[in-house]
Amino acid sequence: MLKTLLIASALMLTSFANMAKPIASDENNVMPLLNGHQIPAVTLQDVDGTSVDLATLVAQKPTIFFFYRGGWCPFCNSQMGQLKAIEPKLIEMGFQLVGISPDTPEKMRASLTDQKLDYLLLSDSSLTASQAFGLAYYTSANITQKYTASVVTNELFTTPQGEKRLVLPVPAVYLADTKGLIHFQYVNPNYKVRPAPELILAAAGLLAK
């Protein structure tokens, strides 16, 4: 009886973890997936508009997913360059590198060209993956106005209070095995702080063992 209850509880936790989470009121109140959770079954688009299922993708080889705010963000571009530098070592360890952001496929294609990237970029313009990973949040009215007046053309979302706001993902890095199990995650509400490449390599090295 106890064993049955434990199995049922585990199934409920897994199911809850894979449910789309509500958009957080701000970046400090997101509820991200943690170590031990499964990568959600979400379908996104690559730069050519081709559908890519995350569950199918991660089954091919261990995967490093990184969520970024968009190609307009200088901190994101810096991180993308750092990941490009360590990509050969990650490939040698058997990993694939996948970037996810609210950018449209067209904007992502521009990022690939400008930065000469080889790794896969996936468009999450509907914020489906960002919500499933528990990373999506409403920006403030001031930030929404500032960003949409200058660099961001993303679709706005309606808050529970009826206000139109820009929704972004908190930048994050996830390492998952071929069964979709998360072994490492780094989520920081401060978008200016990203994990050091050495930390990602160390986490990848441990998972590879």
- Compute mean pLDDT per 10 residues along the chain, 209 residues long, and list them: 38 47 95 97 95 96 97 96 96 97 94 88 96 98 95 94 97 98 97 97 94
Residues annotated catalytic, as ranges = 76
Quote the longest CA-to-CA distance of the chain.
60
Its sign, for the CA torsion 143, 145, 149, 153, is positive
Quote the CA–CA distance of 21 and 128 in Å, as a whole number. Answer: 10
| Residue 142, number of CB atoms within 10 A of its CB | 8
